[in-house]
Structure formats: C-alpha cells, structure tokens
Copies of this chain bind each other. A is one copy, B any other.
Amino acid sequence: MTFETNPVGRSLLDLSTPLPVIDEDRMAANIARVQDYLTAHGLAFRPHIKTHKIPALAEAQVAAGARGINCQKISEAEVFADAGFQDILITFNILGAEKLAALSTLNDRISDLKVVADSRVTVAGLAAYFSGRKPLAVLVECDTGGGRCGVQTPAEATALARAIIGHEGLTFAGLMTYPKAQTEAAVEHFFASAIADLEKDGIPCPIRSNGGTPSLFSAHLVPSATEHRAGTYIYNDRSMVRAGHCTLEDCAMHVLATVVSRPTPDRAILDAGSKALTSDLLGFSDYGLIIDYPEAVITGLSEEHANVDLSKITGPRPEIGDKVRIVPNHTCVISNLFDSMTFHRDGIVTRVEPVTARGLVW
C-alpha cells in the first residue's frame, strides 16, 4: 500500500500526517542523563519498555548501563525474550491457567524472569503451577501510597514474603513498589521496615525495586532501594514537564499533524484525533501542547480530528495545510496506537522501527 513507502532520508515536513516522531538526539540524551544519575547513586536501572515497546530501544538502554528490563504483560516479555533479553521483571499479578502456562514456558526460556504478587490468592496460583517446575522468582508488590496494587503495610509484605518462601516452586526475590511522585520518605520507611523485619529471621531481600519517572531524580532519597524502574523518561511528555522531571526541549516525541479545516476565525481542525493523541488528560484540561502555537488550545478530540481554539493567539494563526508539532500529554499510550515509530535527526528521518510489543492482549 502507498503509505508503506520507506521514509528514511526524507524530511519530516514531507511526511503525511498524523505521525508520531522521535528525535534521536533528545532520546539519547534522556537515556544518558537518567542512567548517569542512577549510576552515580549506586542504583541499578531497569527501564520499563511499556513506553516504547521496541526491542532496539531497550538494547540502547542496556548498552547505556541498564540492568534488565521491566514489562507489564507476559506477551510483552515474550517479545523481548525473542529479542534476546534474559533479565525481565513483569510487574503484574499473574492469574489463570493459560497465563501461568505461558509464564512457565517463558521461565524455562530465559535465565532471570521475575514477577510480582500482592495477595495470597496470586501466590497460591503461582505456587500450584510452579511446583515441580523450574522455580519462579517473586517480588512482593507494596502500596506505598500509589493507591493501585500492593500490600498495604510492611507487616503484610513480610507475611506474604514468608508465604512465598514456604512454596518449593517459588523463590522470594524482594520488594517492588510503584509510588506516587515525591513520596520518597514513605517508600524508604516501607522498604526499611519490611527489610528489618525479614532480617530478624535471616531472610534476604535482594531486590528492592522503586519506580516512576516524575520524581526519578529524587530516587537517591530511597537508600533502601537497589534499583529503579522508569519508562516515560526515554521520550518524555507534557506531564513530565509539568512534574519538573524535564523541560519541553527534552520531549523527544512530537506528534505531527496538519491543519485540515479553518471553519471559523477562532477554530482550526487538525488531522490528529484520539487515534493519534489518545484521550489521556492526566490532569490537563486539553489534549496536548502545540509547540508552534503555544497559545492555541486543543479543546476536544474525536477519533480523527482535533478541535483547536485559536482565540488566544495574538500573532499569525495557522492556515489550512500548515503542519504543526504537538507535545502529547502522555507518550506511552501513543506508542500502543501505531505499528511503527519514525525516528529523525534534525528533521531528517533516520529509521522506522516496528513497535513490536504493541497491541498485545495478555
């Protein structure tokens, strides 16, 4: 089909829209900056591949110094195992016969698979399936204030760790949390309390895995942690600028769009809708920042259209046919919408990578 033309070497200005594109140099700088910070503070880094879903990018992250990767689904981990990755942490409660069978197959294939669990139901399911098989490493997921999954107290965490140790098909590998931003003291208190309790029984807790991009540069304030997980930092987005993690110039992903209609003086319609930008607001009241027209407001999306309010623009307004660059609210969800991602350096396409782990069901 016509839209499969190879764009390498072409100018972004000549490409059809809507199209998410990644600035190679900004991405490389994001990888280096985070890795250097974590290395300087003695923390291992485990990038979360949910943001890019592209094995070649995870290879660049590992080449920069990352130890292992983080996946959110078995199917994602299978894609990265196919690409040669051996140290994979799946940060999800795995339940059900079909998924347990797939998990065991994966555990047999790679040297260092790990999952998390936050309940005796999940642990019992893992224990029943892995009994008599190659043992599975399990971390206890802790809710340190993030309000999603996780045991609620250090006492619950250590009780679950002891339950894991009691099953011959499982090994206890440590603690994991996905915290709220700027709650390093709470994470440290939770981890340190649980570690101290386990030490009383001589139970080692080798991995203490903290995570998140928004306050990543405060990761050193959790001395009990041994590693940090983060995904969004590789591309960055508008929500990371707001969180203070980066500047607008550190955002490696732009979504390119074209003005396709100017029905009224104050209204522009772009060809990037929720199928290109997603409906993720993440606390914003609009759907992305048009960096060429920062006073413009993307007030609404349908699948293939963005409605833009131009009334606050004091200078020239975009005209039909003009291309604009949008910094999206949230990069990770955009990667999941596209079968391939286009990379560029100084506006010239360098490569197109298949987004191999997008759209996977499990």
Interface residues of A (CB under 8 A from B): 1-3, 5, 14-16, 18-19, 50, 72-75, 78, 92-93, 95-96, 98-99, 101-102, 105, 118-119, 121-122, 125, 143, 147-152, 258, 260-264, 267, 269, 271, 274-275, 278-281, 302-305, 307, 319-321, 332-333, 336-339, 359-362
Contact = CB atoms under 8 A, between A and B. Distances in A.
A70 B75 CA distance: 34
Contact of A2 (B105, B263, B278): B105
A336 B148 CA distance: 26
Contacts of A333: 274-275, 279, 303
Tallying the copies of this chain within the complex gives 2
A28 to B, nearest CB: 25
Given A102-B3, A263-B143, A336 B336 contact: no
Nearest to A19: B361
A93 B257 CA distance: 13
Nearest to A307: B148
Given A122-B320, A305-B148, A16 B98 contact: yes
A260 B95 CA distance: 7
Contacts of A260: 92-93, 95, 122, 149
Contacts of A361: 3, 16, 18-19, 338
A304 to B, nearest CB: 5
Nearest to A261: B149
A261 B91 CA distance: 13
A152 B262 CA distance: 10
Contacts of A147: 267, 307
Nearest to A156: B263
24 contacts: A3-B74, A3-B102, A5-B98, A50-B304, A93-B261, A95-B321, A96-B258, A119-B262, A121-B321, A122-B320, A147-B307, A148-B261, A148-B263, A148-B302, A148-B305, A149-B263, A274-B280, A275-B336, A278-B279, A279-B280, A303-B336, A337-B337, A338-B361, A339-B359
